[in-house]
Structure 1
């Protein structure tokens, strides 16, 4: 459980009654100092440590904690949470493992929000104002329960982040009854669209909305009039991200949304019109009247091609955030656009941006802080020969963009020198993620042991680190470097690294702060994984897919301990349709291990595909 607080005032002029430090007492003056200081203690680890000093400090922490993030919903029960922090105002709860985003686990794996919303609905958190659920299963009944509760009436923030299981019927209740909502967020959620009345209800009943987001969802029955009504009624509206709706239909919305700072979604989908002479009209003509609000500094337009780029030009110099993930631009189009965005701080794009695009970014956008480059469609890359990101682009980026804090990139080629360059220049980097694509047969410089070591030594602010390579990309020595030079990293994803059990054992001798470890394509045995868990003293969560399973799992007994749950998904084979050959083929899903600390005991809502590891089964063998 990761907990943080918002600032709360406590009367520091009154003395505090003493209580025990464990079984000892704590003096009043020290309590008073703590009461004065606690509003400014934001790191959850600092607060947790202080709360263990004495019973009084524990109690002060309990009544002043305003926000809690629970990194895994099965690590604690709603009842335990409500007893520990009854005055919570904000809760963030994560459900399914990240593997769910890549379809690596079944939809019905678990992560149900119902127990949590039921606890909220009965009044266990009387001050609750903000709920954020990520990768969880939410039903229409859950949303109805929330909307009809006392909390629902005063709720200000509802985020259904990559969630599933609900429909517009549930949203209808939210729009009708949750009239104090300032944020409604559903980006990348899988929901069923039954009608479009939910949006009209929201527009008719809410006048305080500030953020509306249903980007990358199947909510396509959007009435431009409802979006415009929201903008007219909600004068504080600053961010709107929607699904497909042609930009030309949103002229009235942009005119009404005078405070808007961020817009995402929309589309350029009008068919070309033929003139009487049989010539197609200018594709930009329908969008010539589109004018973005004056405060706009964040933009992401879907299906935007080269012909529609001029719609961005009037605001390009003011943009701080630009999302090109779902644009239809080539490498040179990216270059042309980025030259006009000197104040850019956050860019999302596909790797069609290429090394050339990164070089332009490095030249014209030196203040960039966050850069995310996802994998593009292979056919798009093949059409644009420059549409690949390699060491060339990363070197230019690191040498010129010294404020970079977050870098997530899919590369087609990489070298040790590029990683060394990042370590030498990117001193503010706190989150680094690199995936080496498998499209190219030959990689210039493997293994990457020395480059990874230099990057980790140089980027001493790193808290999150992902390295997804291919066999031979990192030796056991390189894996030991990761353990040795990752003193502050709390989350790590490793794919196809190491050569043998020795690598993971050496790795586990380091990483003193690592709380969450995810691995794929491992060559490690169950015994080595279990021993590594014992070595990683701060570890709270482990997910592994693809390892050397021994069959019955007995080698996992080494990691068995109190409050440590172990779940297994055995390897399985199934038929898939081969579209190219028109036949059925056999696909194999590799085995999974999920292990985590929990105060809730074993869960009872797992599907047949999941097997709870039972140590007692091996006692007599």
Structure 2
């Protein structure tokens, strides 16, 4: 979302409680817009300026933070320097969630002392994020509040494994950790040993396009967490190798898992020990984790894994699949077997017309189906739109109008979702609606 910010908008907003500019592209056309909050404005509860790419008026930010006694969430952008953070924390010791700005500065004892003292005064702080451009020497300043933290988001922090081990070892009550793969297997071992209350783990790649591993992060780190964290329910894990044995161990260790998303960076990667597909491993996940609601598959997979999913994943609500399967049978197993499925995302799989049309009625019980780079033809999309008038069936193809090519020609993308109001009329020029009434089809 692009948001053009005019400071005049703020003048009448005397009762504004939350200003969240997250995941937005913001153009500030008015200069020091924070100073435009009225002097008697005191109602801010949550302020998120993390996405801003320029400096804000620190004096205006400091005044705003200081006069809002109910401020609970403050997320800063990387232009807020580390030596200013202590002042903000002293003015808002009631904060529950903090996103730091740049966590780097020339290492100075006075800055460290002020920062450590300010963090010590934040008795309610439960969530930390930010940590851009970290200088490791300043990390111990947060140790005084680590034992109270429930959430730690380091997904933008290039902190290396030794410092991460020291940090997570202080966070005995942590429930959620987002981190880059710099944590390595050793860091995940420390996490498993220290954070027994962990519920959610997300490990993101630091170099997803690199040809070779840049850090020693393997399946063993995830196995360790599954063994050491009995309350773990949600996993998103990027890695470069996996084995059926590891997946089976994780499934046995954590049958309480409700969300399991494994992203092996190289498509079609087999079990690195046996060179076999990972069907059996994912089969163990869906068989043992009876309450699984969300699943993402990756690696070398055949139609067999979809048979496992259709047979066992009866509570599954969202499934994401890429570069998997052998034939239409895989899609048929999913649509005919997953009773509670609400959202299905498929990319680069050999699924086509037969399974889609045979299970058309299932789509009316779902929120949406997304297919890209599969084997679905334009003719099948037309038939689906005619057969199921309660669905919006949209063909997305930037190559031009699909009806100028043979109907057997595969389309680029298909988006199907439920509707009670008929086709929408706000599509860009590369989207076509397949309606029951040909007169309603847009091109």
TM bucket, shorter chain: 0.7 to 0.9
1:230 maps onto 2:64 in alignment:
yes
1:176 maps to which of 5, 11, 14:
11
CA distance in 1, matches of 2:240, 2:339: 32
Instruction: Please tell me whether the aligned partners of residues 530 and 556 of structure 1 are also in contact (alpha carbons under 8 angstroms).
Output: no
Deviations 1:131-178 (A, max 9, x none): xxxxxxxxxxxxxxxxxxxxxxxxxxxxxxxxx132212x641x3223
CA distance in 2, matches of 1:228, 1:249: 9
1:457 maps to which of 270, 277, 287:
287
Instruction: Please tell me whether the aligned partners of residues 461 and 488 of structure 1 are also in contact (alpha carbons under 8 angstroms).
Output: yes
CA distance in 1, matches of 2:185, 2:17: 40
Deviations 1:361-402 (A, max 9, x none): 00111111111111212599979542x2x2211111111111
3-state SS in 1 of match to 2:306: helix
1:595 maps to which of 416, 421, 437:
416
1:355 maps onto 2:185 in alignment:
yes
- Closer, same or farther: CA 494–488 of 1 in aligned 2, 3 Å: same
Match of 1:268 in 2: 103
Range with bigger deviation, 482-491 or 432-441? 432-441
CA distance in 1, matches of 2:81, 2:27: 21
3-state SS in 2 of match to 1:509: helix
Match of 2:52 in 1: 218
3-state SS in 2 of match to 1:553: helix
Instruction: Please tell me whether the aligned partners of residues 268 and 323 of structure 2 are also in contact (alpha carbons under 8 angstroms).
Output: no
Match of 2:125 in 1: 296
2:321 maps to which of 494, 498, 522:
494
What is the CA-CA distance between 1:235 and the residue it aligns to? Answer: 0.9
Instruction: Please tell me whether the aligned partners of residues 381 and 393 of structure 2 are also in contact (alpha carbons under 8 angstroms).
Output: no
Give the TM-score taking structure 2 as reference length.
0.87
Match of 2:152 in 1: 322
Compute the RMSD of aligned alpha carbons. Answer: 2.7
CA distance in 2, matches of 1:572, 1:269: 47
CA distance in 2, matches of 1:443, 1:503: 20
CA distance in 2, matches of 1:366, 1:327: 23
User: Number of residues paired by the alignment?
Assistant: 421
CA distance in 2, matches of 1:263, 1:380: 32
What is the CA-CA distance between 1:482 and the residue it aligns to? Answer: 1.1
CA distance in 1, matches of 2:186, 2:373: 36
- Closer, same or farther: CA 547–383 of 1 in aligned 2, 3 Å: closer
1:255 maps to which of 66, 71, 90:
90
2:175 maps to which of 336, 342, 345:
345
3-state SS in 2 of match to 1:221: coil
Instruction: Please tell me whether the aligned partners of residues 172 and 201 of structure 1 are also in contact (alpha carbons under 8 angstroms).
Output: yes
Match of 1:366 in 2: 196
Match of 1:434 in 2: 262
Match of 1:519 in 2: 346
CA distance in 2, matches of 1:306, 1:234: 32
1:206 maps onto 2:6 in alignment:
no
Match of 2:332 in 1: 505
Match of 1:612 in 2: 433
What is the CA-CA distance between 1:334 and the residue it aligns to? Answer: 1.5
- Closer, same or farther: CA 456–206 of 1 in aligned 2, 3 Å: farther
Instruction: Please tell me whether the aligned partners of residues 203 and 230 of structure 1 are also in contact (alpha carbons under 8 angstroms).
Output: no
CA distance in 2, matches of 1:538, 1:441: 33
Instruction: Please tell me whether the aligned partners of residues 483 and 506 of structure 1 are also in contact (alpha carbons under 8 angstroms).
Output: yes
- Closer, same or farther: CA 308–489 of 1 in aligned 2, 3 Å: same
What is the CA-CA distance between 1:548 and the residue it aligns to? Answer: 1.5
Range with bigger deviation, 590-599 or 441-450? 441-450
1:484 maps to which of 306, 311, 323:
311
Instruction: Please tell me whether the aligned partners of residues 189 and 224 of structure 2 are also in contact (alpha carbons under 8 angstroms).
Output: yes
1:246 maps to which of 62, 81, 88:
81
Instruction: Please tell me whether the aligned partners of residues 224 and 250 of structure 1 are also in contact (alpha carbons under 8 angstroms).
Output: no
- Closer, same or farther: CA 321–426 of 1 in aligned 2, 3 Å: same
Runs of 4 or more above 6 Å deviation:
379-383, 439-442
3-state SS in 1 of match to 2:309: helix
